[in-house]
Amino acid sequence: MLFYVSAEHSLFPANDQLYKEAAEDYLHYIHGVNPFGFVYLTNMNSYGASNSLTQIFHTWFDKDSPKWAKVGVSTYGPAPGFLAGGPKGGFKAPDCCPNKCDWNWNTVVCQPINHLVTQQPPAKSYADVNVGWPAEMWEIVEPSCGYQVAYIRLLSKFVHQVQDPNVIKEVNISPESAPEIYPNPSKGTVHIRFVQEPLTGWELFDAQMRLVAKRQVSGHSAQVDVSTLSQGIYFLRIMTDGKSYTRRVIVR
């Protein structure tokens, strides 16, 4: 942000472009231009990432959670888009390592830390893990509002609004007047039911707002087959005569 603000206020006009490029390089680093090729954000595969973080140290997304712990292991994995702390040069294993920790920490904690983190150069002092005491891995894998907000603020400088008819706008509506969709999440058929007025059609978009499927319908109910779709987040636009409603659909 300091690089970008320097350019934004033309503190050194001759360097404005260079400063903006330097600021953008930080985003590229977070988004995968780093020694691991990691997107240092959680669970971003459904948004186009091929190698995003699968887990973080967080109370909500605890390592023992059957729903939220880890992508590909738990039902959902952590929510998308959390920025982890990142590599930390000089990270140390617990004082009790390598063989004085209680229980079998030497096997499950000390060895992975020594191999993945402490014996690596600074830019590779990271591991996609979720281990608490005594490893203290939270120092590198825990999210924080401090850098999460800074990341979003910087990202906003390089994102520009476009007038795209396929961009979906959320509508604030009361539950009583909202179309009902179920089951959600689903891996087969999503049902739409709307008693307020007849349906005229639906459109399904993926996370990149690309149209996946659409259909014209009539009546107060409809079905959407998601059985052939990849796991991830989709957006279902439900249309009536003169109105449209958008709902997030999770395919699992």
Q: What is the pLDDT along the chain (252 residues), one digit of tens a residue?
A: 999 999 999 999 999 999 999 999 999 999 999 999 999 999 998 787 889 999 999 988 988 899 999 999 999 999 999 999 999 887 777 777 766 666 665 556 676 676 667 778 889 888 888 876 666 778 889 999 999 999 999 999 988 655 454 444 544 445 556 789 999 889 999 999 998 889 999 999 988 788 999 999 999 999 999 999 988 889 999 999 878 888 889 888
User: Is 130 strand, coil or helix?
Assistant: coil
Distance CA 19, CA 21 (A): 5
Distance CA 135, CA 114 (A): 11
* CA neighbours closer than 13 Å in the CB half-sphere of residue 179: 31
Cβ atoms 231, 210 nearer than 8 A = no
Cβ atoms 97, 136 nearer than 8 A = no
Q: Which helix (H) or strand (E) holds 111?
A: helix 111-113
- Which residues touch 47 (CB under 8 Å, ≥6 apart)? 80, 207, 208, 233
For 160, phi then psi, to 5°, come to -120, 140
- What pTM value is reported for the model? 0.63
Domains (range + CATH), the chain = 2-156 (no CATH), 175-251 (2.60.40.3080)
For 138, phi then psi, to 5°, come to -55, -25
Alpha helices by DSSP H, 88-143 = 105, 111-113, 138-141
